[in-house]
Amino acid sequence: MIQNKKLIFVFLLIPIVSLLTLICYREYRLRTGYEATFPIYGYDPRDLLSGHYLTFQIQFDAPELCSNPVSSKAFQPFRVRKTLTYICLDDRKIYLYQPPKSCHVFIKGFCHYNRFETGVERYYIPENKATELQKQINNKNASIVLSISPNGQAQIKDLLIDGKPWRNLK
Amino acid sequence: MIKEKILNEWVSHHLITQQQANNIKDYESKKPENRWLIYGLLALGIMVIGIGIVSLIAANWDLISYPAKLAINIILLIVSAATLFRLWKSKNDIAYDTLLLFFLFLCLGCIGLISQVYSIGGELYQALLFWSAITFSAILTANYLFIPLIWVFTCLSSSLYCFSVNVEWGYDKIVIIECLLLPFVCAFLSLITKRFLNQLNLEKSFRISTVVSLVCAIIVNDALHPQLQRSIVSAFEDFYLWGHEATLLYIKLLLLTCCFAGLLAIYIKRDINYRPIQKLLLWSMLLDFLLQFSLALVNGYDVIYATSTIFMLLLLAIYFVSIESKKLFHLFLFFAGIRFFILYFQALGGLATTGLGLITSGIFIIALTILWHKNRKSLVSFIERYVS
């Protein structure tokens, strides 16, 4: 058992400080990032609601996204076949491995088995609104609002149904 | 606690007087009772509360705004930490550890809440790895083994899973690497904890993990060795670009494991806490482990694998006797017996031959036991002289 009073205090404080830092970081990214809206597609409402979150694919309108095959190299068992990919939102061009230097805003993600993944393909919704929202998405045009940081990382800001926040729907 | 029946027997045989027996009873009655039942029930209650909190969060509780949710969670964490600090001052060990468990669950709940509020994608293992990282300092303050053990198992399981999903290899190949290297990783973590952190409970947790991972590795290798052999020799060759390279990689991994084993063997030799007989047992276990995994490179027969597994289980059983852990000794002896039994069906096939084989083996085991019992002391002193 640790006998030092200061040490105990610090050890118990570290988890709280870490979580506060994470909250502050996420909030900062949400508020200061570049806001962009993208339509979402490729969802099947019958299977979509896994638990209480929505999964979807974002339509970036970038031709040939994740269509290039990964170059086969010699045996690399410890490398996962994910290609670091950047989409420049100015001209919707694709850049591999390195961020585009002349681009104002870009999104960072990975091409994995021909799918572009940015880590924002999931949106949490309340349990009691799940079925109602599912019906709304079936019939309307859905889109997602992303907050994009200067290094290309995206974070979900809101879900829109017919251009309006889903919480405003009746 | 000495039973009254035993004390009365001693008094009746004039080993102790009645007064001495009364003194012993008084002394024993004043000792604190075994707290494990209380601790276990308290921990169960806390875990149930913790799961309830996580479930509440998972239910997408939308009645209050997200800043309020986060604020309540952080306030609860701060209040728990403050209470923990007070309990530490008052030296209330059980209450401290119980609340610490609640605190750790609250941290996990907070991670879940943050991922829900900000719609952070990701898998459970990533959340658990993050939880392991931020709560490492807190678990060092635990008084008993329970909390560090939970932390170690959570950390190792999520690390293994992270390795499994992020490596572009077949599942069976990943199992090979994990089985081969994990016991050594756990053993080295135990040594590092002992040497640099001086945390007894954490060190013990890693030691327990070493034994558990060792046993799992042996069982997995024994059970899956035909598939593993096929995997190494032929399934790897599915990647036609690099043919036998996978087999060469396995050999490199095996050599790396041998290096780890060598380092561990040197440490065991130098450690004054191990008696010579224990050193011999540990070295034998290392050798047997390496041998069994080396067999995957050749077409080893089932009998060889079975013998290696039984030998390892018996070595573990004897080792537990040396550290006076009778329950574990009986457990591993039982496992060895089961494997022995299965071996006969594998090797001999028919019921009649199996029966004859089992009878012969039973007589052999009894003869060995009687010989060991009669010559135990001289054999142990011979081994100790030889090893030291």
Task: Please write the tens of the pLDDT for every residue from B11-35.
Answer: 888 888 888 888 888 888 776 666 6
With a cut of 60, say whether residue B1 has pLDDT above it. no
- A-chain residues within 8 Å CB-CB of B168? 76-81
Residue of A nearest to B80 (CA): A12
With a cut of 60, say whether residue A69 has pLDDT above it. no
**pLDDT at residue B350, as a whole number:** 61
Residue that has been written with the tokens 């096929």 in this structure: B230
- A-chain residues within 8 Å CB-CB of B241? 72, 74-75
- A-chain residues within 8 Å CB-CB of B232? none
Average pLDDT, chain B: 79
The Cα of A64 is separated from the nearest Cα of chain B by a number of Å equal to 24
The pLDDT tens digits of the residues spanning A9-42 come to: 999 999 999 999 999 999 999 899 999 998 887 5
With a cut of 80, say whether residue A66 has pLDDT above it. no
The pLDDT tens digits of the residues spanning B256-287 come to: 888 888 888 888 877 767 777 788 888 888 88
Checking DSSP bridges between strand A122-124 and strand A115-117, what pairing results, if any?
A: unpaired
CB-CB: which of B62, B78, B239 is closest to A16?
Answer: B78
Maximum alpha-carbon separation in chain B: 85
Give the amino acid at B27.
Y
**pLDDT at residue B172, as a whole number:** 63
Q: Do B121 and A124 touch, CB atoms closer than 8 A? A: no
Query: Whole-angstrom distance between the N-terminal and C-terminal Cα of chain B?
Result: 37
- B-chain residues within 8 Å CB-CB of A81? 168
What tokens does A97 get?
Answer: 């491995």
**pLDDT at residue A43, as a whole number:** 55
Using left for φ > 0, alpha for ψ between -120 and 50, and beta otherwise, residue A80 falls in beta
With a cut of 60, say whether residue B70 has pLDDT above it. yes
Quick one: how far is CA B336 from the chain centroid? 18
**pLDDT at residue A16, as a whole number:** 96
**pLDDT at residue B35, as a whole number:** 66
CB contact under 8 A, A26 and B167: no
Query: Span B206-213, mean pLDDT?
Result: 88
CB contact under 8 A, B242 and A80: no
With a cut of 60, say whether residue B201 has pLDDT above it. yes
Average pLDDT, chain A: 78
The Cα of B232 is separated from the nearest Cα of chain A by a number of Å equal to 13
CB contact under 8 A, B114 and A19: yes
**pLDDT at residue A19, as a whole number:** 96
Residue of A nearest to B100 (CA): A12
Residue of B nearest to A167 (CA): B62
- Separation of alpha carbons A26 and A120, rounded Å: 13
Of A1 and B239, which is predicted with more confidence? A1
- A-chain residues within 8 Å CB-CB of B77? 15-16, 19
CB contact under 8 A, A16 and B81: yes
**pLDDT at residue B129, as a whole number:** 93
With a cut of 60, say whether residue A50 has pLDDT above it. no
Query: Span A43-47, mean pLDDT?
Result: 48
How many residues does this entry show for chain B? 388
What CA dihedral angle connects B367, B369, B371 and B376, to 10 degrees? 170
Residue that has been written with the tokens 């719609």 in this structure: B119
CB contact under 8 A, B141 and A2: yes
Radius of gyration of chain A (CA): 20
The answer to pTM > 0.90 is no
The pLDDT tens digits of the residues spanning A88-125 come to: 888 888 888 888 888 889 999 888 777 788 888 888 87
Q: Give the helix/strand (H/E) hosting B243.
A: none
Q: Which of A30-34, A46-50, A138-142 has the lowest mean pLDDT?
A: A46-50
**pLDDT at residue A68, as a whole number:** 58
- B-chain residues within 8 Å CB-CB of A19? 74, 77, 107, 110-111, 114, 134
- B-chain residues within 8 Å CB-CB of A120? 119, 121
- B-chain residues within 8 Å CB-CB of A15? 77, 103, 107, 134-135, 137-138
CB contact under 8 A, B167 and A77: yes
**pLDDT at residue B227, as a whole number:** 60
Angle between helices B276-294 and B302-322 (to 10 degrees): 160
**pLDDT at residue B253, as a whole number:** 77
With a cut of 70, say whether residue B77 has pLDDT above it. yes
Q: Do B308 and B296 touch, CB atoms closer than 8 A? A: no
Return the closest-CA partner of residue A40 out of A122, A100, A96, A99.
A122
Residue of B nearest to A6 (CA): B85
The pLDDT tens digits of the residues spanning B141-192 come to: 998 888 999 999 999 989 888 887 776 666 666 777 777 788 888 888 888 8
CB-CB: which of A22, A74, A81 is closest to B114?
Answer: A22
Residue of A nearest to B62 (CA): A126
With a cut of 90, say whether residue A131 has pLDDT above it. no
Residue of B nearest to A73 (CA): B241
**pLDDT at residue B302, as a whole number:** 67
With a cut of 80, say whether residue A127 has pLDDT above it. no
Maximum alpha-carbon separation in chain A: 63
What CA dihedral angle connects B296, B301, B304 and B308, to 10 degrees? 40
Best to test chain B binding among A6, A7, A16 (most B CBs inside 10 Å): A16
| Burial class for A131, CB neighbours closer than 10 Å (0-12, 13-18, 19+) | exposed
The Cα of A93 is separated from the nearest Cα of chain B by a number of Å equal to 25
- Separation of alpha carbons B325 and B172, rounded Å: 34
Q: Give the helix/strand (H/E) hosting A142.
A: strand A142-148
Give the ipTM: 0.82
CB contact under 8 A, A122 and B167: no
With a cut of 90, say whether residue B74 has pLDDT above it. yes
Q: Which of B81-90, B179-188, B333-342 has the lowest mean pLDDT?
A: B333-342
The pLDDT tens digits of the residues spanning B286-331 come to: 888 888 777 766 655 667 777 788 888 888 888 887 777 778 887 8
Residue of A nearest to B132 (CA): A15
- A-chain residues within 8 Å CB-CB of B140? 2, 11
The Cα of A121 is separated from the nearest Cα of chain B by a number of Å equal to 7
CB contact under 8 A, A14 and B134: yes
Report percent pLDDT > 90 for chain A: 18
Of B53 and B233, which is predicted with more confidence? B53
**pLDDT at residue A72, as a whole number:** 45
- Separation of alpha carbons A11 and B135, rounded Å: 9
How many residues does this entry show for chain A? 170
**pLDDT at residue B218, as a whole number:** 80
CB contact under 8 A, B60 and A12: no
With a cut of 90, say whether residue B128 has pLDDT above it. yes
**pLDDT at residue B240, as a whole number:** 40
The pLDDT tens digits of the residues spanning B216-252 come to: 888 777 776 666 655 555 545 554 444 466 667 777 7
**Residue A35, φ and ψ in degrees, nearest 5:** -95, 130
Q: How confident is the model at residue A47 (pLDDT cuts 50, 70, 90)?
A: very low
